[in-house]
Structure 1
């Protein structure tokens, strides 16, 4: 082989290396369809999602897990083409505001607010990107959206409350707890979602001539004292999807078990922990549904303004049989008949 041949080979090699280096240092841009990275003449979309969660507890954590799982199932996966900026406000209003402002100034492709206060803050501060919410009781009452159907603006999501779930729980208490006259409610009245649910519960109980007695708390460390204050005054205890109270649910379980007071919650996770019963659903599924909404926005160009806010449809009673025994409840066949999916929703 002559020198011209080897020179040609060398020049070709240099061109290949140069092209490879150019691919590694290509520009990235951000738009409504995510960031685009050019690699060897092709383009791969990458996404950044910012999340604001009010506090860590099982229902909200399961919501986040379901959200991430839906993204992954659609090919949007952390470590590959997704950057997740997760922020926990630890129940502090100041943190909630700081986080929402941080997200507003970020170059995220989408923001998610988990729970009412965080969603409210994002609705106030974030105007230049799509926003989704989850684990919000009444997004209209909370001022997050003006209507559930085609809400307009840049925000939509999923409510975690169907008023029918609260009414069914109160009707069950009225018909199945012997001689019930008063139901105690431990509540943080600073949470709009808790106030809305409490009103529905109070109205439902009033139809049975049962009184709702409230024990207010200012933080989760007050929950034990609030539960103790209801002993001797109520025939059952109920809690809403109240983030502060749910965080302190162990203290309520302790009092309910010691004093034989039936304890009802509004979420499955608290029943699994030790409440007797709830009408609810799996928060993982709730989060998954919101994750599917995110996929529609990121990959298919859907606008939040056009996407209806959803509410849970697959409601069922959930019983914890061990908790029933601890709280002095005899679970009858009539009670069990309230549970549609007994294989999965009667927890032994």
Structure 2
């Protein structure tokens, strides 16, 4: 009987301790702080910048982590099962708001809760991902910002930088709905430019090198959208592609800094700030996700990697040089 009593006391202590962590404690913590959960699919420049922009945007609006809000950040390390576990934790902890960064993280969170306000960012098309009823009027507990890039403009850029290209490989992760959506747009744009396309898909990061190596001699260039798996492995992608003299047009600036040749990309830091402005409205009780349209970024920047252009022997046209932000290759841990 004594052992049972001790066990009961121990369990109670553990449960009590668990309420002091994460987003626990109901609508507000005892000290009145709002609790915000953040689930990010994987670490890479674009998603990291979106999160930084979100935090900075909140702070500029008077919501500082540790003062009047508590932010519990979790990275799923590119594992869908981790996204689900984190989402379940945020529901159990009764967060006041959750930010989900990237489509798989957003889908996991939306599947776990129909009540907690969820903002998404770095999601290409929330409606296509079944997160909202429509991007104009979500009608659910989900809203946020899209990272849809000017795909057609990116394909035009490929044709301008590699005018003799005839066949282009579409490099992406087959499990990412956001990537498939962009690739479909890229194929339509390529067809208008007289380019043939071939799919080059991966299902896990260990396949990247082999898939890119298999393209040598079969295509004239590679296109990769804002794909999280490819972005996280961009050093490997660019190393193999550049050695094979295959120009790589990418979806965003971080991938370009990782060795991709060029992109018309959005600014993920600004996108995070844009999402923070939505969060402020929700936290103040001024709006609900169901009535908040998905927001987009209007301007895209031309980014060109001068190291890669030199390695590939590509001359950048003067008109693009005047417009472009020129970057150099920055190796990051993968």
Question: In the TM superposition, what whole-angstrom CA distance separates every residue of 1:215-243 from its partner, at most 9, and x where no partner exists?
Answer: 12121121111110111111111111111
* SS of structure 2 residue aligned to 1:48: strand
- Alignment RMSD: 1.7
Gaps of 5+ in 1: 1-27, 38-44
CA distance in structure 2 between the aligned counterparts of 1:105 and 1:300, rounded to whole angstroms = 22
User: Match for residue 229 of structure 2?
Assistant: 244
CA distance in structure 2 between the aligned counterparts of 1:29 and 1:330, rounded to whole angstroms = 59
Q: Is 1:186–1:223's contact at 8 Å kept on the other side of the alignment?
A: no
User: Match for residue 176 of structure 2?
Assistant: 191
CA distance in structure 2 between the aligned counterparts of 1:334 and 1:182, rounded to whole angstroms = 25
Q: How does 1:130-145 map to 2 (within 5 A)?
A: 130-145=117-132
User: Match for residue 114 of structure 1?
Assistant: 101
Q: Is 1:152–1:305's contact at 8 Å kept on the other side of the alignment?
A: yes
**1:204 equivalent among 159, 172, 189:** 189
User: Match for residue 216 of structure 2?
Assistant: 231
Question: In the TM superposition, what whole-angstrom CA distance separates every residue of 1:33-85 from its partner, at most 9, and x where no partner exists?
Answer: x4463xxxxxxx41110111111111111111110111111111112122111
Q: Is 2:97–2:116's contact at 8 Å kept on the other side of the alignment?
A: yes
User: Match for residue 146 of structure 1?
Assistant: 133
Residue 105 (structure 1) aligned with residue 117 (structure 2)? no
Q: 1:66 to 1:290 in 2, by over 3 A?
A: same
Superposition deviation, residue 131 in structure 1: 0.7
User: Match for residue 77 of structure 2?
Assistant: 90
User: Match for residue 346 of structure 1?
Assistant: 326
Q: Is 1:104–1:128's contact at 8 Å kept on the other side of the alignment?
A: no
CA distance in structure 2 between the aligned counterparts of 1:221 and 1:268, rounded to whole angstroms = 23
CA distance in structure 2 between the aligned counterparts of 1:56 and 1:316, rounded to whole angstroms = 22
CA distance in structure 1 between the aligned counterparts of 2:53 and 2:81, rounded to whole angstroms = 27
Q: Is 1:63–1:288's contact at 8 Å kept on the other side of the alignment?
A: yes
Question: In the TM superposition, what whole-angstrom CA distance separates every residue of 1:309-340 from its partner, at most 9, and x where no partner exists?
Answer: 01121112111112211122111213335x3x
Q: Is the radius of gyration larger for structure 1 or structure 2? A: 1
User: Match for residue 170 of structure 1?
Assistant: 155
CA distance in structure 1 between the aligned counterparts of 2:100 and 2:212, rounded to whole angstroms = 30
Residue 311 (structure 1) aligned with residue 291 (structure 2)? no
Superposition deviation, residue 148 in structure 1: 1.3
Superposition deviation, residue 300 in structure 1: 4.4
* SS of structure 1 residue aligned to 2:284: helix
CA distance in structure 2 between the aligned counterparts of 1:128 and 1:261, rounded to whole angstroms = 47
What TM-score does the superposition give when structure 2 sets the normalisation length?
Answer: 0.87
* SS of structure 1 residue aligned to 2:33: strand
Segment of structure 1 superposing worse, 225-234 or 319-328: 319-328
Superposition deviation, residue 260 in structure 1: 2.1
User: Match for residue 24 of structure 1?
Assistant: none
CA distance in structure 2 between the aligned counterparts of 1:75 and 1:30, rounded to whole angstroms = 22
Q: Is 2:44–2:232's contact at 8 Å kept on the other side of the alignment?
A: yes
CA distance in structure 2 between the aligned counterparts of 1:317 and 1:58, rounded to whole angstroms = 17
Superposition deviation, residue 30 in structure 1: 4.9
User: Match for residue 336 of structure 1?
Assistant: 321
Runs of 4+ in 1 over 3 A off after TM superposition: 28-31, 34-37
What TM-score does the superposition give when structure 1 sets the normalisation length?
Answer: 0.84
> How many residue pairs were aligned?
305
